[in-house]
Structure 1
């Protein structure tokens, strides 16, 4: 499963710094993504060069971006990105599978619509912010010209020497009429892209790319875990665990608490970050691979059955740990 970390948090997972990544001379070797809050989006796939929409979704999480877009964000501090690649650990909520626009397709952005019978045949899905319907450029231009000429003609008519049959006036009226007729041959409405307005603070890099870049710079492919700064006595239950848990995340927290080390909320959060950075199958505490993303302020997890994606904020962890510690001691 793809895992990304914000550039500002690179030092938590690697020997590298944010500057090491930003100044890398060949960004095309690296995999970048930007984090977006819940955004109403169109998701689909490009099939034989044409975009096929699958549905309208609320999309929250990492969106893969090109190396060029990442470079623009790094250099300018922000960039408009018209679409990105859906990532496996994003939180996606279906709004509707029905085509939502008045503009019929195929059109300037959507060639086809509908979920294909074999959804897995399109592994790379595009994510666009929800399209906007607006008048075509030709119609807007024709309307603007007509309004401008009408206003100017109205002002000119106030002059005593104004001649509505003047050759210049008649020629311009004919030009306006021709443009209007041509505009009426174009679609009344078209779809327009808004794009994601990504900031540098939302840009991230994949852990796999971090390992690759670190190996190039230091000769080691390993991602170094941050060193805990606080050690307190481990909580050791006096008997075999008989606790039941409200959810699968609490079981992960329990496994961390009884293992010893830093059991403060900051220490446990660092352990969760380190655990998330490991490949599935190598995790010590997250035995069912429920952690989907861990940032400095929030984590995303899913039940072991693969259902009910949920989040926990760093600010909520202390309360959850306190309750678990009391249950462990009294068990």
Structure 2
């Protein structure tokens, strides 16, 4: 048993530890670039495909990111999870096909190019359409190169030299071909369907591109007087109501009231007949008024009407 210079026992020498070439510290700032360089030098993705050539195939279809900026944490999460699948399938001896791609269509790219025009005092409508499209393609290609390098820095393996992009003419031609094939099979039909449209951009908008502005809604409460000569008495004799009975509704579209023809009730909601006993100044309701209200909303409605006390007469 070894002893240190001061006579203390070197307890580390008393334990039989396994030998390893791994360093005690990861030292990732230095080690990680070396590992990434090694993977790139041997072309790890192609190497794995070569080793597993002829084996059962596994294809991971890549939902493409948008080519309009640097990566964020959402991109990282998405691609790292996919990389785990690709690597695990390689280790299970599958011949894995993973071709990364980019979405190059839509308004964000056009908007960025238009922003450059605005900064120069140019009107987009004065730019020849082919020149505008070329600039949009250049913008997308720039960010594809940037994002590809950033994905590689994350250690993501794939066929980075042959990605697919939605703006490739071949891709667009295949889409047109398939659409024509669907049409020739009489699988296309014309009907009415609302589509959000940008007046400025002169194009249809995807749901994700539509932003709704917050605004203050004009909401109203309306009392509809019950015709006690017919209504409940005719349909259910056990629930006759007094003459001064109203059904209360609430709407955020007050302009539709003149066109009202009916009040809808739900079979899954219970309604009751309530009588006003007292109010805080008889502002919205008066003592003796009778209302048909959904039970779950009775307290809220009476509170809004400044009713201080009310009685539940019967369930409708």
> Do Structure 1 and Structure 2 share a fold, with TM-score over 0.5?
no
User: TM-score of the superposition, structure 2-length normalised?
Assistant: 0.16
Q: Which has the higher strand share?
A: 1
Q: Rg: which structure is higher?
A: 2
Greater RCO between the two (CA within 8 Å, min separation 6)?
1
